[in-house]
Amino acid sequence: MKLSTFDSILDEIEALSPEDQLALLDIMQRRLRDRRRDEIAANIAQAKKEYQSGHVFRGTVDEAIAELIGSHEEVY
């Protein structure tokens, strides 16, 4: 979004009554929460899919670090 468009939106919001600004704030917070909830649900679905297909690492932290170090050394 262009800055001038963003600024004009802010100006429009400023022109609203305090009650309408609070209502808008409530609506935007709810929409942002819903969007974030949808993103989390999509991430969970993707993680479940990867887990079920065996595309996840299973092991201890030390094993994960060792694998990462081993992968890193293979690059060089």
| Beta carbons of 41 and 49 less than 8 angstroms apart | no
Average model confidence (pLDDT) across the chain: 91
Cα separations in angstroms, 10 against 4, 5, 13, 27: 10, 9, 5, 16
| Residue 59 belongs to domain spanning | 3-75
Looking at residue 58, what is its pLDDT? Answer: 84
- Note the Cα 6 to chain centre separation in Å: 22
pLDDT by residue (tens digit) across 10-46? 999 999 999 999 999 999 999 999 999 999 999 999 9
Looking at residue 76, what is its pLDDT? Answer: 45
pLDDT of residue 57 exceeding 90, the answer is: no
Domain count, the chain: 1
Looking at residue 55, what is its pLDDT? Answer: 85
